[in-house]
Every structure is written in structure tokens, then in C-alpha cells.
Amino acid sequence: MRFLAANGRRVLRAIRSGAADVIIGGLRRIRILAAVAALVSLAGCAHKRHARTVPPPPLSRTPAVMPLGHTETGLASWYGYPYHGRAAANGEIYDMEKMTAAHRTMPFNTWVRVYDLDNGKTTEVRITDRGPFVDGRIIDLSRAAARELAMLGPGTARVRIEVVRAPEGAPSATYAVQVGAFQDRTNADHVRAEMAASFGSARLVSRSGNPPVWRVLVGAEPTEESANALAARIRQKSVESLACFVVRLDSDGLSGDGRP
């Protein structure tokens, strides 16, 4: 009996000791798992702290001036009366006997060399006005410049123009789309309202004259490319066939008096 009692006590102690070991082992495993979970959580937090949302690149503006050597090819025309003696888009009085020209997007006081692609003649002109607003034409020359290219009679000529001198201190470029020019302001207001409803921004710009002409300009784009895209959307969505021309908005936020 003593033997059984003693052995029983030893067995009981062994059982208790084993249970304690199991409990201790379980606690150790729980602590280890908790530590691992904490490390994973910290790693996740650290990852979140260092993760950054990359913003989209800013839309770069078109440079204020055209680079030297920039070229365009198309038709040149010339203009004289009734614009002779009127204010050009840059505020100067237009003199058709001076070496000047109109361009839709080049900064004022840009000098360009004009090459006649048919007769080989050349001339240089300063940009002082906005235009021409006829499909296919890229520059409108003064009568003096047209005379040097021997194009007074034909009225137009195939040309290549090249920037040879850029103005200093030209304001940053912003562009709009001209969708029409009207002598009747009521018609101009109607088109302006339609454009504003469809594209969010439209305005009227008047050209002094007898009678005056009201030009409808849509948008204010930071690049010529985005303005061309806007012009394409206007053509696509317009029921009527509109002649859309991208024009540079000058320092006053408008594109000058210019010509229709």
C-alpha cells in the first residue's frame, strides 16, 4: 500500500508537471505568434507610411516663343484695304507698305522668313496681327511683302515660313478656338451661348470697323495641341459645319482685334 501510494503521488506530480509544460509551451507559442503578427503589422504600417501616390505629370505649357528654325508650310495670302490704317491685333496701326504679317498663333514681334515654293523668292516679315481665318492658309502678308514675292496678282502662294528672330519677354501662351465671325451680334451671341453650353467657356471679341465684326472664341487652353483637340471635338459635335481655327490669346486674355 505504501508502495502504491508513493508511486501514485509520483505519477500525479508527473501529470501535473506535464500539464504545466504543455501550458507553458502553449503560452510560448502564443507569444511567438503574437510577436510575428506584430512584426507583420509594423511592416505593413511602414509600407503604408512610405507608399506615395504619384501625381499625374503637370500639363506643360507651350513655350512663350517659337524656337528659331521652326517651320510651317501652306498658303500665304495678303491684305490691304480696308484694313490699311486700322489697328492691328497688337495695337499698332496697320500699314500695308511695311514688312508685317498676320499669323494665328505666333507671338507678336516674331520675325519669319517666307520662302515662295514656286518662284524661289524670299522676304522677311514681323508678326503684328492675327489671321488668316481661311482653311489652308498659314500667313497673311502685307502688300509690301506680297510684292516682294510677286504674288500681288495671284493673291496666294505656296510658301514655307521659318522663324528667324524671336521676341524678348513674350507672355506665356494660351489658346482658344475661333468658331465664327459675324457682322450681326445677335447671331454671334447665339453661337456663343451654344458653345458655352457645350464646352463650358465662350466669349465674343469685337473687331472695330464699319460694320464691326464679332468673333466667337471658345476655351482657354495651355497648349496648341490641347486647343487643336478642342477644335476637333467642336467639329465632331456641331450640327453645322464650323470653320474652327486655333488662335493665340494675347496678354489681355483675348486674341486682339485682328480680322475675320
- pLDDT digit string, tens, across residues 31-71: 544 444 444 444 444 444 444 544 444 445 556 788 999 99
Contact 141, 78 (CB under 8 A): yes
Residue 228, burial from CB neighbour count under 10 angstroms (0-12, 13-18, 19+): middle
Q: What number is the average pLDDT over the span 164-179?
A: 91
Instruction: Report pLDDT digits (tens) over 52-63.
Output: 544 444 445 556
User: Percent of the chain having pLDDT more than 70?
Assistant: 72
Is a pLDDT exceeding 70 seen at residue 223?
Answer: yes
Is a pLDDT exceeding 80 seen at residue 167?
Answer: yes
> What kind of architecture, by CATH, is found in domain 71-165?
Beta Barrel (2.40)
In whole angstroms, give the CA distance from residue 246 to residue 228: 6
- Residue 94 pLDDT class (50, 70, 90 cuts): very high
User: Percent of the chain having pLDDT more than 90?
Assistant: 59
Instruction: Report pLDDT for 48.
Output: 43
Amino acid residing at 187: N
Instruction: Report pLDDT for 242.
Output: 78
Q: What number is the average pLDDT over the span 186-208?
A: 92
Residue 171 or residue 42, greater confidence: 171
The distance in angstroms from the start CA to the end CA of the chain is 126
Q: What number is the average pLDDT over the span 209-225?
A: 90
- Cell numbers describing residue 46: 511602414
CATH of domain 174-249: 3.30.70.1070
In the predicted model, what is the mean pLDDT of the chain? 80
The count of other CB atoms within 10 Å of the CB of residue 129 is 27
Cβ-based neighbours of 144, under 8 Å, separated by 6 or more = 96, 97, 98, 99
In whole angstroms, give the CA distance from residue 139 to residue 120: 17
In whole angstroms, give the CA distance from residue 74 to residue 158: 6
Instruction: Report pLDDT for 121.
Output: 98
Whole-structure pTM value: 0.72
- Cell numbers describing residue 126: 514681323
